[in-house]
Amino acid sequence: MSDSLAGNPADPKGNQISSGSNSPHSSADDLEREFAEVEASLTIDRDSPAANAPTPDQPIRVMTPTLVMVETAFLASTASLMWLVSYYLSIGPWMRILFPLPIALAYLRWGFRASWMSAVVSGLLLSVLMGPYLSILFCVPYAFLGVQLGAMWRRGSPWLPSIAIGTIIAMFGFFFRLAILSVFLGEDLWTYLTNRITDLIQIVLTRLVNWGFVGIDVLSQTNVTVVQIATIAIVLLSDLVYLFTVHLAAWLLLKRLNNPIPDPPHWVQVIMDEE
């Protein structure tokens, strides 16, 4: 007992040496633990909102209900104004290219609900300014096209499926408008349209007969079914060209508004670069 008591004050250096020898290991462990905690705090989970933060090339957009409401109303009034100006002033058919773009831009900026709100507000505004009939002619197909194009552009869909689905909607809109006009005018406009296509086919066949490519008996073999198929094919081709021009206009315009759509096929980019 006395030896142990005597040995304690006589061995302070030994205690210091032993404690000094253990301190580097404990401090190293503490540093490694701190580094692990810092690294864990700096690591961004792929599913976290921070992982989806905009890059420096992308604009930072703060979504507030007021901003969404104001932009939706502004884009709806823009679409309505373009339709009204095009109808009353007859500026030209080129303005048809721009009809779906405001509603598509609403989808690109704020999503599904904002685009449908913009389409509905446009229809209601036009029904007040121009009447329900002209409002329906705008909503079918241009408002539906705006929602469809905005949805596919926001998901990064290529041009081919987007144009294909848009062509189907445009064809439905054409025949819907044809039926509405037939009801209001009291005439069968489909018969009128097929008669005009028949005259066109007769003109083409007459030229082919004059050039000697076909016999003269072909002029008397015009079939109603063939004429109707040719009419549908012409409408399909017209809507296909229209949707392509809408995509081209959106690619050139919306990129300047920091809401770009997917890039066109390579051959389109080559043509645009050459120009």
Over its length of 275 residues, how does the chain's per-residue pLDDT go in tens digits? 444 444 444 444 444 444 444 555 566 677 777 766 656 655 544 444 444 444 545 555 566 788 999 999 999 999 999 999 988 887 767 889 999 999 999 999 999 999 999 999 999 999 999 999 999 999 999 999 999 999 999 999 999 999 999 999 999 999 999 999 999 888 889 999 998 888 888 888 888 888 877 777 776 677 888 889 989 999 999 999 999 999 999 999 999 988 999 999 999 989 888 65
CATH class of residue range 65-274: mainly alpha
Cα 191 to Cα 62, 105, 229: the distances in Å are: 54, 38, 13
Domain locations in the chain as residue ranges = 65-274
d(CA 258, CA 260): 6
Nearest residue to 243 (alpha-carbon basis) of 175, 155, 173: 173
Return the DSSP state at 138.
Answer: H
Q: Which two tokens stand for residue 112?
A: 């599904």
Q: How far apart are the first and last CA of the chain?
A: 103
Radius of gyration of the chain (CA): 35
**Helix and strand element counts for the chain (H, E):** 11, 0
Are 121 and 76 in contact by the 8 Å Cβ rule? The answer is: yes
d(CA 158, CA 196): 36
Are 98 and 129 in contact by the 8 Å Cβ rule? The answer is: no
DSSP letter string, 147-186 = HHHHHHHHTT--HHHHHHHHHHHHHHHHHHHHHHHHHHHT
Sign of CA dihedral 203, 208, 210, 215: negative
Q: What are phi and psi of 130, to 5 degrees?
A: -125, -10
d(CA 168, CA 5): 100
